[in-house]
Amino acid sequence: IAPLLRVMTAPTCANVLGSFSIDNYDANYTYTVTPLIGVTQNGGIVTAPSGSYTVIATLGSCSSGSSSDIVMTNVICANTETAPSINGNTGGTTATLVSNDTLN
């Protein structure tokens, strides 16, 4: 039986990694997540960056079919950066650059 996957936690602005579970996890099997870059697995919980993943379960020389794709959607973060303003003396040559930058 192919692994059944479910998103548990989506990636956020504060944490670029989300997680999904292998709902029919069995400790007797070895699970291969594709793609593997940035992925960690602890039992039936997989932590991964945004992207699309599949999982295959293997026991000895037998492998399951591939799971359905699970998509970890990257949250679009609001950019609170504002354009800098320039305060200057209209009659002179001095200007001050003021930044209202409030990036997280």
Render pLDDT for 47-81 as a digit per residue (tens, 0 to 9): 999 999 999 999 999 999 999 999 988 766 766 55
Question: Predicted confidence band at 1 (pLDDT cuts at 50, 70, 90)?
Answer: confident
Q: What is the dihedral of CA 46, 54, 72, 45, to 10 degrees?
A: -10
Whole-angstrom distance, CA of residue 73 vs CA of residue 9: 10
Strands, E, within 25-92: which ranges?
30-34, 40-42, 45-49, 51-59, 62-63, 70-72, 85-88
Render pLDDT for 25-41 as a digit per residue (tens, 0 to 9): 999 999 999 999 999 99
DSSP class per residue in 11-36: --SS-SEEEEEETT--TTSEEEEES-
Give residue limits of the domains in the chain: 5-72
Q: Kindly tell me if the per-residue pLDDT of 44 is higher than 90.
A: yes
Give the predicted TM-score (pTM) of the model. 0.70
Residue 28 near residue 59 (C-beta atoms within 8 A): yes
